[in-house]
Structures are given as C-alpha cells and as structure tokens.
Homo-oligomer: A and B are copies of this chain.
Amino acid sequence: MGDEFCSCDILHENLIEIVKKKMPQEEKLYDLAELFKVFGDTTRVKIISALFEAELCVCDIAVLLGMSQSAISHQLRVLRQARLVKHRKEGKVVFYSLDDEHIKTIFNQGLEHILEPRGFEHAVF
C-alpha cells in the first residue's frame, strides 16, 4: 500500500478530527449524493426544465424531447421517487409537475455556476 500513512497526517491530525466531527452524518451525505445523481442526467434535466414552464403529460414530454414514451416513463419514475415531481391523473392521462421549491433554487444556482466566466486558474489552453 503506502497509502495508509504520510507525514502530512501527523501535521493535520487535529484538523482532520475537527472536520470529521463537523461533517453531516454519513447517511445524509449518501442521500444527498443520491439526490444529485437524479439531477445528473441530461434527459431528467430536460424534463425538469420543461416542467419549469408547464404541467405536462407523459406523451407531451416524449414528443418535446423526441424520445420514446417508455424512456420518459422510466425517468419520471426516478424523478417521482426522488420527490422532485408530482403527478395528477385525469382519466388515462397522467400530468406531471414540479414538486418542490428547492428544485428551482438548485437548478438556478447550477445554471449560474456554469454560466460564470472562467478565471485564470481554470483556463483550458
């Protein structure tokens, strides 16, 4: 190995302990990663972005994104399980809409981040 110990550990040992204590529970961080995983797919981001504008049925979304009904339905299930969208049934048709205010904040902050101009440190030459 050789990965286990390094002089650096000794130097920052206390700091590591302090940080460890301040960090949220392991389980919370796991759930948080699961949540962001849901945002981390182009199809789902597009669906969310569409539902930002209006309530839509499954078929609308499929047409809008040019994808199969099945693919959309599978992704809507993921979004539902993460409680990001809610659904309303009207006869055969199921309408989906956003379920949460946090989504808008997360989404917009994400957009702001990617639109931010790059500093020197990040320049890709």
A: which residues have CB within 8 A of B?
1, 3, 6, 8-9, 12, 15-16, 18-20, 22-24, 28-42, 44-46, 49-50, 52-54, 56-57, 59-60, 62-64, 68-70, 83, 86, 93, 100, 102-103, 105-107, 109-116, 118, 121-122
Contact = CB atoms under 8 A, between A and B. Distances in A.
Contacts of A60: 8-9, 12, 15-16
A6 B58 CA distance: 11
Highest count of chain B CB atoms <10 Å: which of A28, A44, A109, A111:
A109
Binding site of A, secondary structure by majority: helix, strand, loop or mixed? Answer: helix
Contact of A102 (B12, B54, B59, B113): B113
A56 B44 CA distance: 34
Contacts of A39: 32-33, 36, 39-40
Stoichiometry (number of copies): 2
B29 A33 contact: no
Contacts of A102: 109-110, 112-113, 116
Contacts of A40: 33-34, 36-40
Given A3-B70, A121-B86, A18 B114 contact: no
